[in-house]
A and B are shown apart, each in its own frame.
Chain A
Amino acid sequence: MKTIILGVIGSDCHAVGNKILNHVFTKEGFNVINIGVLSPQEDFISAAIETNADAILVSSLYGHGEIDCRGLREKCDESGLKGILLYVGGNLVVGKQNWEETKGKFIKMGFDRVYPPGSDPMTAVADLRKDLNIV
């Protein structure tokens, strides 16, 4: 069973979406380690080290995702999690900005997949299966 870390980053306390994702990924056969809301970058990394996780899934719904997620990839590299899958999704930026531009920013930050508001969780499930070579 593949282990994934799930959480809402930064000073963001949107708990409902987090619960839904937890439910979906568990049902789809993943070992979900949910660190919940208000989670700093370090908590994602510590949890991934201790549980030997295969991917980190970051949610951000309050518009400050760009600031909160900056440097996460570098910190993962530094902590011995080189190459771990990083996904991010939610209301990543404030207001109606061009999605492709926003996506580009996060890809440049080192995220493997970026999801816009209103994405179906099953899209991420399918991507994760593909990226982790689960048939």
Chain B
Amino acid sequence: MKGYLLIDFGSTYTKLTAVDIENEEIIAAAKDITTVDSDIMIGFNKAYDKINSILKEKKIEIEYIKKLACSSAAGGLKMVAIGLVPELTAEAAKRAALGAGARVIKVYSFQLSKKEVEEIKDSNLDIILLAGGTDGGNKECIIHNAKMLTEAGVNLPIVVAGNKSAADQVEDILKDGNIYYRVCDNVMPKLNHLNVEPAREIIRDIFMKKIVQAKGMNTAEKYINGILMPTPAAVLTAGRVLSEGSEDSEGISDLMIIDIGGATTDVHSLADGEPTKPGVTLRGLEEPYAKRTVEGDLGMRYSSMSLLEACGKKKIKKYLYYKELDIEKECKRRRQDIRMVPENQEETDFDEAMAKAATEVSMERHVGVIENTYTPMGVVFSQTGKDLTKIKYLIGTGGVLVHSDNPKEILKAGLFSMEEPNYLKPEKPKLLLDKYYILSAMGLLAEEDKNLAIRLMKKYLVEI
């Protein structure tokens, strides 16, 4: 029979999923440690052998018509975003990079200083996104910044997505400096209007053509048909097709995805986020329909100490059943042993309390906020960010959720609460669990066969 092999070279595990096209089933899945430091194919082959033995047991022979991969190995895709005003083009550039699945190390605004350029040079990056000025607006800043980067000899691919009226000059500067660059449409062509898709596409293209090679993952490309995108971009793609649907398969409309990992917690929302209540004024920069935020300080292992710092003991304790546990000690333990797997009830309880705190805080940071202003005409409401109170589905993924006996309670920590009614979190969404760890694989599959990806997600994402 014919099938797809979908591969996720994760930061810790290489995960393989085999899909049977005819019966529309996931027939095998396996994982092994990612081996990017030596040869990425070692870990892949180990997982591949596991898949083969499962298939042998089931007496299935499969012919893969495509082997597709995404990757967050070797640190993922690391970027910096550069813009003019922090709340405007710098923020727009950051959102574009996040949507492309990048880890945004830092955001720079206004004219770069020598010190900042040195910092960029030393920060072990993959791509720089250079924005600044609306179309026809400020030119000086982006031109200055292009000069600074060139003069300092920053030898990294640069995506130029700023004021179109300055694009030619910026291009000349980068060309003279022998820098690999690509020019695309402005991330903020008009004030407060966001246009992130062109930059996202270019970033993905550079990732595929250059970054994969630079990270020594091109050995994999002989055996598979390509590492198409960073893993977070694959998850966002999966969410997008599931939400929007395709010509033949209906989407499930507005949804959110929360992915709690060892180092970060990612939140994705697929919704326009317009105000749901009458008389609310929308303020600030427009929000992308497909929005991703990454909380680098909220993670179960690598970022457990920063999670403690961000959430505070009180919040973790609120969710603990075994209240007498030493919170600081437990977090430290997890930071030191990032492969730790909970083995008893207390350890599981602590992991789940951490996950609940991470869910609560990461959702708070993702959703929009409503504020009331007292005016001579009475109270008026203004909304910044997305109103996600009415979304229909919240999907959970990531180790702690998938392996939990009670994933529902973890997801519930992210819902709307009357204690903090100004955060526009989902009120009554249906809760789904990515029990078989298929979201990133489905994002890859959607590149080839949207309908199949949608139907598989509807089948394998289980309501809890």
Contact = CB atoms under 8 A, between A and B. Distances in A.
B35 to A, nearest CB: 46
30 contacts: A3-B136, A3-B137, A11-B373, A11-B375, A13-B375, A13-B377, A33-B190, A33-B191, A35-B191, A38-B283, A46-B85, A46-B88, A47-B88, A47-B191, A49-B84, A49-B138, A50-B85, A50-B89, A50-B133, A50-B134, A50-B137, A50-B191, A51-B134, A51-B136, A51-B138, A52-B137, A52-B138, A62-B376, A63-B376, A64-B376
A46 B87 contact: yes
Interface in B232-288: 281, 283
B353 interface: no
A102 interface: no
A51 B375 contact: no
A63 B283 CA distance: 23
B136 to A, nearest CB: 7
Contacts of A38: 281, 283, 373, 380, 382
Interface in A47-92: 47, 49-53, 62-64
Given A31-B136, A50-B134, A52-B138, 4 more contacts: A11-B374, A11-B375, A11-B380, A49-B138
A51 B84 CA distance: 10
Nearest to B137: A51
A81 to B, nearest CB: 11
Chain B interface mostly helix, strand, loop or mixed? loop
A50 B87 CA distance: 10
Contacts of B191: 33, 35, 47, 50-51
B139 interface: yes
A51 B140 CA distance: 11
A37 interface: yes
A-B residue pairs, 8 tightest by C-beta: A51-B137, A11-B375, A52-B138, A52-B137, A46-B85, A11-B373, A51-B134, A50-B88
Interface of A: 1, 3, 11-13, 31, 33, 35-38, 46-47, 49-53, 62-64
Nearest to B282: A36
Interface string B88-99: 110000000000
Interface in B192-212: 192
Interface string B373-405: 111110010100000000000000000000000
A3 B134 CA distance: 11
Given A33-B191, A36-B281, A50-B134, A13 B380 contact: yes
Contacts of A62: 375-377
B82 to A, nearest CB: 14
A11 B188 CA distance: 27
A61 B104 CA distance: 42
Contacts, number: 59
B281 A37 contact: yes
Given A33-B191, A50-B85, A50-B138, A12 B375 contact: yes
Contacts of B283: 38
A47 B134 CA distance: 9
A53 B85 CA distance: 14
Contacts of A49: 84-85, 138
B400 to A, nearest CB: 40
A120 B439 CA distance: 59
A63 B377 CA distance: 12
Interface residues of B, number: 24
Given A38-B382, A50-B191, A13 B281 contact: yes
Contacts of A36: 281
B380 to A, nearest CB: 5
B279 to A, nearest CB: 10
Contacts of B375: 11-13, 62
Contact of A52 (B133, B192, B382): B133
A31 B136 CA distance: 10
A112 B344 CA distance: 72
A61 B50 CA distance: 72
B417 to A, nearest CB: 26
A38 B282 CA distance: 10
Nearest to B378: A13
A12 B84 CA distance: 28
Nearest to A46: B85
Contacts of A13: 281, 375, 377, 380
A14 to B, nearest CB: 8
Contacts of B138: 49-52
Contacts of B374: 11
A80 B190 CA distance: 21
Contacts of A11: 373-375, 380
A74 B134 CA distance: 24
Contacts of B188: 50
Contacts of A64: 376
Contacts of B139: 52
Interface in B45-92: 84-85, 87-89
A53 B87 CA distance: 17
B451 to A, nearest CB: 42
A16 to B, nearest CB: 13
Nearest to B88: A50
Nearest to A31: B136
Contact of A50 (B84, B376, B382): B84
A63 B376 CA distance: 9
B155 to A, nearest CB: 29
